[in-house]
Amino acid sequence: QVEPVEGGLSLEVDVRIQGMAEPTVLRVGEVHVSVEHLPPVHLSVFLDQEYPAGRPPRFEVGCVWLSRAQLYGVCRGLDEESEAMGEGSCVLLPWVAWIQTQSTAALGLGGDVEVLEEG
């Protein structure tokens, strides 16, 4: 979803993680569930009017089954992608590709993931 906002554009993208080498076991309390596909990672991006000539876009990442530490790891990975590409680079597609294909290692998927219970 793309929406014009004051000073630029706002984008909302749901990105599915691909390529888990083995099933991931989600643990919620005493319940363990083996899954091969997980809900998407939600990427919110603000592109200012100078994009891509200026600095990389501002972004937020959300996902119902990731911990804060894991979300921070995704953000750090996207920041590293931006730095590697250099100032003035188009980073949106590389960010989506990183989440899809490389975030599994950064998140430690393919093993056990503990899901925090609400409440």
pLDDT at position 55: 80
* Residue scoring higher pLDDT (29 or 79): 79
Strands 8-15 vs 2-5: parallel, antiparallel or unpaired: antiparallel
Domain count, the chain: 1
Chain segment 10-47, per-residue pLDDT in tens: 999 999 988 665 666 777 777 777 776 778 999 999 99
- Report angle CA 92, 18, 39 to the nearest 5 degrees: 85
**pLDDT at residue 65 greater than cutoff 70:** yes
CATH number at residue 59: 3.10.110.10
- The answer to the question of residue 19 being in a domain is yes
- The answer to the question of residue 37 being in a domain is yes
pLDDT at position 113: 59
Q: Characterize 43-55 residue by residue with b for buried, 16 or more Cβ atoms within 10 angstroms of its Cβ, and e for exposed.
A: bebebeeebbeee
- The answer to the question of residue 119 being in a domain is no
d(CA 19, CA 52): 29
